Amino acid sequence: MKFQAPKGTRDFYPEDMAVRNWIMDAWRRTSLRNGFQEYDGPIFELLDLYRAKSGEGIVSELFHFEDRGGRELAIRPEMTPTLARMVGARANSLSRPIKWFSMPRLCRAERPQRGRLREFFQWNIDVLGVDDVIADAECVFVAIDFFREVGLTPADMVMKINSRSLLSALLVARGFDVDRHAEIFAVLDKRDKLPEDVFAESVQKTTRSVDEYDTLMSIARAAGHTGLDELAGIAAGNEAAEREMARLRELFRLLGEMGVGEYCAFDMGVVRGLAYYTGIVFEGFGKGELQRAICGGGRYDQLLEVLGGPPMTGVGFGTSDVVIEVVLRELGKLPTVLAEPPQVDVYLIDAAPEFFPIVLRLAGRLRQRGVRAEFSYKRQGIGKQFKAAAAARAAKAVIVGQEFADRQVVAVKDLATGQQVEMGVEAFVEECGKAQT
């Protein structure tokens, strides 16, 4: 029987690993230069951590199982609940702002398609313990800082930004009861995912009068430069709506100050599927063929408390290696990242098989000092071993032969210049070791 990798998973051969590392190295670099600290958690959690807190979408996509004690567990489909649990447990001792990042392997049992798999790596950036909109601005900035580093310009992508609290306030201002909001959010979230007539039909189904229909349609269409102004009329006179409107305007002002305003656009059609978002929400989209979000996040003000922690607010986003690779390939911006074997500092060559035990001993001593030392597995002529040294891109070749037996010296050849010198073996080991420190 021939086995294949399970549906929606990937094998990472060295050339694939090189691409994955290139993306993840950029995640780490971006996180660190923006002042975020790395954390991680377990790959599975109690299923209850996700139930009801994340929303039906993600819960129906979980891989879950029971352990022998009958506990219901789930492989993590996202990181935010784990983060909320961890921060909640140490809330008192962590200094604010809590700026953390993570790059977990996640699994979701969704239908595999372009840009969506069942197993992927997701970069998470979160700021906790700060209510100020500066934290929201910083998260959006960090996402764009990464996309900019890998070569995406405002012509290639857009960060669509909205506010669930503004949307709620507008709905309240127009007389929609709070218990209808979740349903309306779900409908508005589909604006760009459905053909226009199908979307209009679902708005009609959720509304009870022509007036309600017109209001929702005009809210849903508000986007771009004039979007916020278009909503000002509905917000006027409603304190909460005006406050949320001002918060969103402040966010755009801050992003402008930070030099990424061109990437950002207001859009009421971004509501996000996860249940825990309470405030600003945002999603990045490639402007090419990939119609799926390339990143997504938002503010979650109650998640920690819901999970049994203290009241604490948070904001953050996630993006995955899968979508980034698809988008960069589509735009021809994925560099050729080569999977090269590691470069070698010293290639040890035996002049005759009886010197091989000394080669092994020297390799052991050099490696212990952090020197990348290699040797041939096969006992073969010096010429072939030199060829192997060149193939391994070794900086130096060291020949162990009769001189070693006679006088404890080795021949050291610089493979770039071709220069060869004799050296006492102890001096050589010491010099190589020093070069590593």
Query: What end-to-end distance do the CA atoms of the chain give, in Å?
Result: 51
Strand-pair partners of 175: none
Query: From CA 284, how far away is CA 293, in angstroms rounded?
Result: 6
* Binding map of ligand HAM across residues 307-346, x = CB under 6 A, - = no contact: ---------xxxxx-xx-----------------------
Query: From CA 86, how far away is CA 304, in angstroms rounded?
Result: 9
Identified binder of ligand HAM from the candidate list 50, 53, 74, 78, rule CB under 6 A: 78
Only one residue has tokens 């210049």, namely 417
What φ, ψ does residue 373 adopt, rounded to 5°?
Answer: -115, 135
Q: CB under 6 A: which stretch of 75-83, 148-156, 241-249, 401-409 binds ligand HAM?
A: 75-83
Number of H helices, E strands in the chain: 16, 17
Six token digits for residue 408? 């404890």
- Min dist CB 340 to ligand HAM, Å, is 27
Burial of residue 134, with CB atoms counted within 10 A of its CB: 0-12 exposed, 13-18 middle, 19 or more buried: middle
Identified binder of ligand HAM from the candidate list 295, 304, 366, 429, rule CB under 6 A: 295
The residue type at 356? F
CB 258 within 8 A of CB 137: yes
Q: Which residue is nearest to ligand HAM (CB)?
A: 316
Nearest to 8 by CA among 124, 75, 123, 106: 106
Which residue, 120 or 266, is less far from ligand HAM as judged by CB?
120
Query: From CA 411, how far away is CA 399, in angstroms rounded?
Result: 5
Which residue, 78 or 244, is less far from ligand HAM as judged by CB?
78
Q: CB under 6 A: which stretch of 175-183, 293-301, 335-343, 421-429 binds ligand HAM?
A: 293-301
20 binds ligand HAM, rule: CB under 6 A: no
- Min dist CB 188 to ligand HAM, Å, is 16
296 binds ligand HAM, rule: CB under 6 A: yes
Helical segments of 258-317, H only: 303-306
- Min dist CB 333 to ligand HAM, Å, is 17
88 binds ligand HAM, rule: CB under 6 A: no
Site for ligand HAM in 108-127 (CB under 6 A): 108, 110, 116-117, 120, 122, 124, 126
Residue 290, C-beta contacts closer than 8 angstroms, at least 6 positions apart: 114, 115, 323, 326, 327, 330
294 binds ligand HAM, rule: CB under 6 A: yes
Applying CB under 6 A, what is the total number of residues that bind ligand HAM? 24
- Min dist CB 134 to ligand HAM, Å, is 17
Binding residues for ligand HAM, per CB under 6 A? 78-80, 108, 110, 116-117, 120, 122, 124, 126, 274, 293-297, 316-320, 322-323
